[in-house]
Amino acid sequence: MQYGVDITSIRLDDLDKRVFSEIQKKALQGESVTVLDGGCGKGGLAVSLSRVGAKVTALDIDDYVDEIKERVAGATLPPHSLTFIQNDIISFLAKSDAVFDMVVLQRVLHYLPYTLARQVLSTLLIKTDALYLSVTGADTAIAKHYPVPKKPIEERWGKLDIRGQKLFSITAPLCLYSEKEIFNLLTETGWRIDWSRVSDFGNIKVVAS
């Protein structure tokens, strides 16, 4: 794996559950919701959101179409409620005119160099009103195997050491963030932070609008 374990194929974390709860609430009020699940992996969250009434675009750089089809086959979903697209987030946003009520980026942004992360967040301002974001923090166990933690954020881009790659199944380069750095990145690109939490593992979770 380049991008680590697909957590949502195993369980929904606290940020996923916030998205799920918000869509459930809107569904009960008769509202339809469109969601972009960027970095959807095997579709654990995407299928869960579709099941409660969201129309989901599930996006991932890797080809998970067979895994998602298998997951969908075991669920009762409304027709045309889930579309899988294999693409990276930069290319997708550049080519798509679609807008979404909500965008979920779980463990995606830290796989982009800082300048591209800024570009994504700036572009999403005109694509959605609600952003649910999770990034790997600079104080996680992963960071102990990260070769460039002290570099300025604009230059902080590198792979884990060999032991870290084996431990965490991550071979792609990363940009790890402190809580302050991710807050600054969001506010500088025009987002307002509505809720945040640093998980027990040191991952930074944010809901922004």
Residue 1 included in any domain = no
Give the pTM. 0.90
Write down the pLDDT at residue 74: 65
**Residue 114 in tokens:** 């800082």
Cα atoms in the 13 Å half-sphere on the side-chain side of 185: 25
The range of the structural domain enclosing residue 45 comes to: 7-208
Give the domain CATH number at 181.
3.40.50.150
**Residue 149 in tokens:** 């933690």
Residue 49 included in any domain = yes
- Mean pLDDT calculated for residue range 180-192: 97
Higher pLDDT, 47 or 207: 207
First to last CA, the chain: 32
Look at the chain and report how many structural domains it folds into.
1
Residue 5 has what DSSP assignment?
-
Q: 54-96 pLDDT, tens per residue?
A: 999 999 998 877 777 777 676 677 767 889 999 999 999 999 9
Write down the pLDDT at residue 1: 52
Burial class (CB in 10 A: 0-12, 13-18, 19+), 69: exposed
The pair phi, psi for residue 38, each rounded to 5°, is: -80, 130
d(CA 31, CA 25): 9
d(CA 77, CA 73): 9
Residue 98 included in any domain = yes
Calculate what percentage of the chain has a pLDDT beyond 70: 91
Q: Please give the mean pLDDT across all residues of the chain.
A: 89
Calculate what percentage of the chain has a pLDDT beyond 90: 60
Residue 122 included in any domain = yes
